[in-house]
Amino acid sequence: MDRSAQLTARPAPYEIAYDPPTPTTSPHPGAVRVLEENWTGRSTVPSRSLYPHQWSWDSAFIAIGLRHVAPLRAQTELETLLSAQWADGRVPHIVFNPSVPLDAYFPSPDFWRSATAGRAAGAPRTVQTSGIVQPPVHALAAWLVHRADPGLSRARSFLSRVYPRLAAWHRYLLHRRDLGGGGLVSVVHPWEQGMDNSPCWDAPLARIAPAPARSFRRADLDHGAPEDRPTDLDYGRYVRLAADYRDRGYRDEPGGERGAAPGGGPRPGNGEFAVEDPAFNALLIASEHALARIAEELGASGTARRARAERLTAALAERLWDPRAGMFLCRDLRGGGLIPERGVSGLVPLILPGLPRELAAALVGTLRGPHFGLGGRTRLVPSYDLLGEAFDPHRYWRGPAWFNTGWLLERGLRTHGETAAADALCEAVLDLACATGFAEYVDPYTGEPCGAAGFSWTAALALDLYHRRPAPHERQELDKSPQRDVPPTDSAPFDRSDRGGDRG
């Protein structure tokens, strides 16, 4: 039965969320085993089969979990990624393992041609990478890794070595990727945002002529069901966008919001795809808070970075908030205006401690409401609007629930005083991660595992939540606290239940 028939035949509406049996054993041994099996000696692959190289934001999430059991490995994970940074400051979304055959993954190094096509942008000569980026979670990860074992971090000068690279990474984004001129960072490819196949990209992608099917071979279909992966048409558009960016030498040229300049000529800028995404920018803001903490640890001032985080938060609210939707939306710089699709990306800014109270309250309401159903029809947050026409509970980022967005929203709920909801989401992540063998993602209704098994960031983030979750008596005390409704004013909520932290 094809996917259309499955969707037609599926009972609707779903009345209750999936409720797997509560694991009787700790998730710790299983999560550690996944991370051990996926370790290559210097970094961790997301999955041995489907993703056999190092991915950028995966490594940040992996380090956040590894810090509890192997802080040296967590530091090494980030150091390995940052060693492949380009001279212009970008951190590539893939660092390729030269021992992996070229046909094991597409696009492979011979597609990206980083050392030649990226020469003008300062691509490294000794390691092969992609030329696009992924969300900047890295400074937040570095700060949390430091907090896990400050003694080891200081002995190895971990923060003093990664700080200049992280600062250059943020400069690249803020200076080269403000393509709309409004202060926010833009992505030039759906793969950069991380939620590759989201319906939020459908309208911008519709303008892109796909690469011919015969010009590439999809290795992903060797490991995943076609009905769960992007369509051939979408994949052809991804390939076309990446090839065009490569053929421009990976240049970033800010060019304003619309495709035509005054007088009717083409407006300069990055191709036909340029989108301001709320999650990407929220993670940059969170990492600016973390860089402020790192600067202070190194004896410098974090004031300028906190001020920048406040300005970015204001720009995020001004440019991407939609009061009718009750959430943030993506802005299509080439098509003009907000994209009227509700993706989980628009909820991720809940992690920001400086988010205005009324916006945070609206996000919580949307998270619990009919479009995402958290705590009612779903236990984990779907990646796309349950009521949207493009919703599909199994197809990549078009409905399934992912564990990294669950982790982010658990932190967001806790940051804004929603302790009971955060506790419930924490338990749901742990239950489903264990019950599915640390699956890549799950059906938000049934909890059925999808994608790769033994997925590294699922294991790592389950490990993090397991080590950080309050004991039952601590949860009761938090619920009784008169301050629980007051949002914190600094980056401490990203770190609040760490064991062994030293500052703040």
Residue numbers annotated as active site: 196, 440
Contact 44, 456 (CB under 8 A): yes
Contact 428, 442 (CB under 8 A): no
The angle, 0 to 180 degrees and rounded to 10, between the axes of the packed helices 28-37 and 56-66 is 140
Q: Which of 6-32 are b and which e, b meaning 16 or more Cβ less than 10 Å from the residue's Cβ? A: eeeeeeeebeebbeeeeeeeebeebbb
Q: What is the Cα–Cα distance from 57 to 63, expressed in whole angstroms?
A: 10
Task: Specify burial of residue 217 (Cβ count, 10 A radius: 0-12, 13-18, 19+).
Answer: exposed
Q: What is the Cα–Cα distance from 146 to 159, expressed in whole angstroms?
A: 7
| Residue whose C-alpha is closest to residue 122's, from 146, 87, 147 | 87
Q: What is the Cα–Cα distance from 356 to 363, expressed in whole angstroms?
A: 11
Other CB atoms within 10 Å distance of the CB of residue 185: 26
Other CB atoms within 10 Å distance of the CB of residue 54: 25
Residue 405 CB-half CA count within 13 A: 31
Instruction: Tell me how far CA of residue 465 lies from CA of 68, 114, 123, in angstroms.
Output: 10, 37, 36
**Backbone angles phi and psi of 182, in degrees to 5:** -105, 10
State the sign of the Cα–Cα–Cα–Cα dihedral 403, 222, 225, 200.
positive
Residue bearing tokens 């929603």: 418
Other CB atoms within 10 Å distance of the CB of residue 50: 20
- Token pair of 201, please? 């990209």
- Token pair of 222, please? 């060797």
Q: Which of 308-341 are b and which e, b meaning 16 or more Cβ less than 10 Å from the residue's Cβ? A: bbeebbebbbebbbeeebbbbbbbbbbbeebbeb
| Residue whose C-alpha is closest to residue 195's, from 351, 45, 343 | 343
Please measure the distance between the N-terminal and C-terminal CA atoms of the chain and give it in whole angstroms: 55
What lies within 8 Å, CB to CB, of 167 at 6+ separation is 291
Three-state SS string over 271-312 comes to: CCCCEECHHHHHHHHHHHHHHHHHHHHCCCCCHHHHHHHHHH
